[in-house]
Structure formats: structure tokens, C-alpha cells
Amino acid sequence: MNTLTQQTLVQTNQPTPKITIIMPAYNVGNKIDTALKQLLKNLTPITNNYEIIIVDDGSQNPPQSNIITTNNKIKIIKHPTNLGKGAAIKTGTKYATGQYTIIIDADGDINPKNLKQYITALKQYDIIIASKRHPNSTYQAPTIRKILSTTYNILTKILLGIKIGDTQTGLKAFKTQHLKTIMKVIIVKRYTWDTEALAIANILKLKIAEAPVHIKQEKLFKITDTLKMLLEILGITYRLRIIKWYQKNIEKENPQYKLLLKI
């Protein structure tokens, strides 16, 4: 696994391709206004060739911002009911038309001030992962959340062989063609979609790098959510290690999988 620094990036004169931004949103209300302001502040100096896809995942408090109504490069797709973050990203990916796709949470916890680093890195790598454990990251969160995050990542390394310091931070960048391939075989609809995506990326032997992130989190994990994440990762392990479902279906156009347990 490569740890990204400015020194490791090869500077090229290639023009920046079209960028798709996918923002899964659930009950974010006007928090998305801050997220969009931060995003556009860092995106528009890089390129005007972009689209922002907000997927409202059955919110009772839907995304609210004047930017949404005034910027014609922003579209909202609505799920009638809450399906989960993984399902929202899967929906957004279907509509992505950019050569690169960046997925970022809509709650404003992440400051994308080094967005250019992610976009530049995609000229050399297939996937860029925001890592709270990158030496140049800034990370604020309750201690219990930090402990749970570290424990989760140790578990993913043991069970899935994912050698990444942080799988769960809500900022990731992909070459869109690879994201579309990965999302065709994503089963997880809720919490651990990104862990599943990285397990599939390993099967595809994609080039992955970790990049710094600037994030401030105040919410705590619910016990029920933690247990659901554990069940999801066990399901991923079953499909990857035991029945090798991903390996058998990665090249199929519309693979079908029947869940043993609905979470």
C-alpha cells in the first residue's frame, strides 16, 4: 500500500478530466450547505468540468442549501425510503459520467482542502483512500470512536487481508470505470460498503494509495450500528474467503446474491 505525499506524485501537464462528486445524504438538512461551500471552494479552482450528484437516502430532514437550487451542475436523486449509505453510493455511481469519481460525506465533517492532491493522484493510481492515520492528517473525534475505528481496521486486515490503515473515512476517489465495476458486485447496502469495495479492488489488483484527510467527528457510534457492521464484515468474509462469490461474479453484468441474513 502506498502512502501519498506531494513528493511521490509525478507532476504532468495532462488536463484535468471531468469530475463526478457523489454525496450520500441522510438527514443532513442544512449541514450540506457547509459541505457544498467547502467542496466548491476547493473544486472550482481545479476545474469547472464537474457534476455533483447528491443522493438523498430517504431523509426525513432532506438536504437544504441555496447552492443546490442555483448551481445547475448539482442534481439530487431521491430514494423513497432509507436504503443505506452503500445503496446511495451505488445509485450515484449509475449516474456518474466523469472520468474520475470522488465520494464524500454530506455532513461537513470532512474539509476537502487537499482535494487537488486526490485528483492529481488519480493520474497514477486507481483508488485514493482518505486515511485518518496518514502522518499529514488532522483527526478529531471522541476517544471511544477512535478506539472502535482502530479495532475495526485490525479486524479487516485479519479477516479480509486489506492492508490499509483506514477503510471507513467518508472521502474516497476512484477512476470511474473501476468504481462501476466494483459497484456491480457490492452487496452491502449500509455501513461497510467501502470495506467490501476495497476487498473487491484487491481481487482486481487495482493500485491504491492512502492520502491525508482533515476531519472532525462529534457523533458516537451506536452499539446496534457497531454490531451490524460486525455482521456485515463477517458476510463479506464469507463471500470472499469461503464461497468466493466475488471472484466468480466480478465479470458478470448483473450478478445476483441472496443474503443469508438481512441486516
Task: Please report the pLDDT score of residue 262 as a whole number.
Answer: 66
C-alpha cell at 68: 443546490
What average pLDDT does the segment 207-215 reach?
96
What average pLDDT does the segment 26-52 reach?
96
C-alpha 97/C-alpha 75 separation (Å) is 13
Task: Please report the pLDDT score of residue 223 as a whole number.
Answer: 78
Question: What are the Cα distances from residue 44, in Å, to 66, 98, 117, 122, 167?
Answer: 17, 15, 14, 18, 27
Task: Please report the pLDDT score of residue 261 as a whole number.
Answer: 65
Task: Please report the pLDDT score of residue 145 as a whole number.
Answer: 87
Domains and CATH numbers, the chain: 2-249 (3.90.550.10)
**Taking all residues of the chain, what is their mean pLDDT, rounded to a whole number?**
92
pLDDT in tens, 87-103: 999 999 999 999 999 99
What average pLDDT does the segment 63-88 reach?
96
Q: How confident is the model at residue 8 (pLDDT cuts 50, 70, 90)?
A: low
> Is the pLDDT assigned to residue 68 strictly greater than 60?
yes
> Is the pLDDT assigned to residue 6 strictly greater than 60?
no
Q: Which residues of 176-188 are buried (b: 16+ CB within 10 A; e: fewer)?
A: bebbebbbbbbbb
Task: Please report the pLDDT score of residue 22 as a whole number.
Answer: 98
Task: Please report the pLDDT score of residue 253 as a whole number.
Answer: 84
67 in Cβ contact with 83 (< 8 Å): no
Q: How confident is the model at residue 15 (pLDDT cuts 50, 70, 90)?
A: confident
pLDDT in tens, 224-247: 888 889 999 999 999 999 999 999
Task: Please report the pLDDT score of residue 19 as a whole number.
Answer: 98
C-alpha 77/C-alpha 218 separation (Å) is 27
Question: What are the Cα distances from residue 215, in Å, to 65, 71, 260?
Answer: 21, 26, 35
User: What is the CA 187 to chain-centroid distance, rounded?
Assistant: 15
23 in Cβ contact with 55 (< 8 Å): yes
> Is the pLDDT assigned to residue 5 strictly greater than 70?
no
pLDDT in tens, 158-191: 999 998 989 999 999 999 999 999 999 999 998 8
In terms of pLDDT, which residue wins out, 15 or 193?
Answer: 193
Nearest to 101 by CA among 177, 168, 10, 205: 177
> Is the pLDDT assigned to residue 140 strictly greater than 70?
yes
> Is the pLDDT assigned to residue 1 strictly greater than 70?
no
Q: How confident is the model at residue 39 (pLDDT cuts 50, 70, 90)?
A: very high
Q: How confident is the model at residue 254 (pLDDT cuts 50, 70, 90)?
A: confident
What average pLDDT does the segment 209-234 reach?
88
Task: Please report the pLDDT score of residue 3 as a whole number.
Answer: 75
